[in-house]
Amino acid sequence: MIRWASAFLIFAFIGSGCAPSTVQGLRENHSGRTEFEVQQNYQPVYRTILEQSRTCRQGFHGFVPTYVQGDLYHDTRRGNISVAQHNAIYGILTWLAIDVSALDDNTTRVVAYYTNDHWAPAAQAVEQWVRNDFKGCRFPE
């Protein structure tokens, strides 16, 4: 039992990387980002990304719960989606933050910030979900 607990603690430490606890922290201190514009209204773009993020990322990964949180602001025509783990040892670790903003009624800009290279394919998949109606959870090779 002690070996299992030790292995879990080591995994939790390695898996934590240097993820910030907030979306703003990730925006300011990201490993990378992807950005694109699409000729669609911001609301369906936001819904597509939120639904697919929940399908692909929400749930338990190992022993750590992962949550997808989305907020849509009609007054500013923006939306934010985050993927974070709530870890008993390290607290909240935000791995992916996605900002959706209307440039006009039919053009939307999407910026996906990620914590480390492990999350780069998830950020790249966001564009595929919106542009190509891709329903997979990993970026197609």
pLDDT for 44 equals 97
pLDDT for 57 equals 83
Distance CA 81, CA 90 (A): 21
* Cβ neighbour number for residue 26 with a 10 Å cutoff: 24
For residues 77 and 42, the answer to whether their CB atoms sit within 8 Å is yes
CATH of domain 2-132: 3.30.310.80
pLDDT for 87 equals 77
pLDDT for 136 equals 79
Q: Which two tokens stand for residue 36?
A: 């694109």
Positions of the chain with pLDDT lower than 50, given as ranges: 1-16, 140-141
b (16+ CB within 10 A) / e for 48-62: bbbebbbebbeeeee
pLDDT for 103 equals 98
pLDDT for 53 equals 92
